[in-house]
Homo-oligomer: A and B are copies of this chain.
Amino acid sequence: MKPSITSLIESLPATIPFVAPESIERRTGIPFTVRVGANESAFGISPRAKYAMDQAVNTISHYNDPESNDLREALATHHKVDTNQISVGAGIDDLLGLAVRTFIGPERIAVSSLGSYPTLHFHVNGFGGTNHTVPYLPNGFNDLNALADAAIKQAASLVYLANPDNPAGTWFRASDLNAFVNGLPDSCACILDEAYIEFAPEGTAFPMGDLDPRIMIMRTFSKAHGMAGARIGYTIATPEIITAFNKVRLHFNVNLIAQAGALASLKDLDFVAGVVSSVQQGRNDYEALAQELGLSTLPSATNFVTFDAGTQQRAQLILNALAKRGVFIRKPGAPPLDRCFRVTVGTDQERQDFARILPQVLSEIDAAIA
């Protein structure tokens, strides 16, 4: 007696996109006291969002609005787009799944950078498609020419690009992306993952007016708005793509508290500006620290800094040694960036702790390697 799992699901590996810090803590028994690995915000949430979420707990017995109507209207005003161009989801992870489900299936190919956001690859595999990847450039930038070439040669149905990039932190000006988008095949959809856009210089965000029918811009409240645990993000695209999402999305997936918090946070842009400024300070601190220690860093327009350890081995040893001392970081998994490790801008205390522990770890490792 054995229920018949589909051959697609049977064929998938039992891997998951991310191992959570909680899972690592359970495995090692060492608690993380400096949590700078998941690009969570060290600067909390807007007091308005806090108030709205507290109030929302009082009405939690009611279902959430499956259309996220109030939030979508506010986002439409904010971005000067139509409400029917917006789909709200339980974080970009959810929205990536919808985009992949809409454009990928058996015999369809998604193009992305090798070592880019693993949940994208997870969804492509999960919906029976094929991931075709091209390496990052050695300097940590996505290779736009190679991505566009691959999209053409593979007759890809979907291209994924994070701008600013995760895990590198690098970014392109929107005007430079225009040429990239124009070079994609007519039938190839394009995800622009702008999870970190608030931290980037002006001119980075892709213009939403008169949007190319192939583009899906994805945004989140997890980073600058500080609401990672609430699970809420959104996609801006043409009404045709949003209609496709509506045909399959989990309509009640965005919980009531997240909707209330996001709506309130969207109206507190001063708070977000303060976070962005604190993050800038934190990146400066990390860059100064790296310079002191003779490490280079990749340029970053995000809430993290990617340190160059020189070799994959050294980067991995640094990550392991930090974990033993209660410091949670992550590192890129594929060459050429696997020589790097990625550190989130933490609180003042976390940055001080990190600045104290990293030199110890480096001395120890370099003594052992030498």
Contact = CB atoms under 8 A, between A and B. Distances in A.
Given A3-B157, A22-B69, A231-B255, 18 more contacts: A2-B187, A3-B188, A14-B246, A16-B251, A20-B65, A53-B57, A54-B57, A60-B226, A61-B228, A62-B228, A90-B252, A93-B250, A93-B251, A97-B250, A229-B257, A231-B252, A231-B253, A255-B255
Taken together, the copies of this chain in the complex come to 2
Contact of A26 (B5, B35, B69): B69
Interface stretch (A39-47, A194-202, A313-321): A39-47
Given A3-B214, A13-B247, A40-B61, A256 B241 contact: no
A247 B12 contact: yes
B63 A40 contact: yes
Given A14-B247, A255-B257, A61 B44 contact: yes
Interface size classification for chain A: 35 or more
Given A227-B61, A250-B93, A255-B229, A1 B186 contact: yes
B40 A62 contact: yes
A261 interface: yes
User: Which of A16, A43, A57, A101 has most chain B Cβ within 10 Å?
Assistant: A57
Contacts of A102: 5-6, 9
Contacts of A63: 20, 38, 40, 222, 228-229
B40 A247 contact: no
Nearest to A223: B61
Interface in A54-105: 54, 56-67, 69, 90-91, 93-94, 97, 101-105
A47 B1 CA distance: 44
A296 interface: no
A244 interface: yes
A367 interface: no
Given A40-B61, A248-B12, A253 B4 contact: no
Interface string A223-253: 0001111110000000011011011101111
Contact of A2 (B17, B186, B222, B231): B186
A272 interface: no
A187 B6 CA distance: 11
B244 A256 contact: no
A56 B60 CA distance: 14
A229 B56 contact: yes
B5 A244 contact: yes
Given A6-B104, A60-B53, A66 B226 contact: no
Contacts of A3: 103, 157, 187-190, 213-214, 241
A349 interface: no
A50 interface: yes
A126 B69 contact: no
Contacts of A60: 45, 53, 226-230, 261
A61 B229 contact: yes
Contacts of A28: none
A86 to B, nearest CB: 16
Nearest to A22: B65
A132 interface: no
Nearest to A53: B57
A258 interface: yes
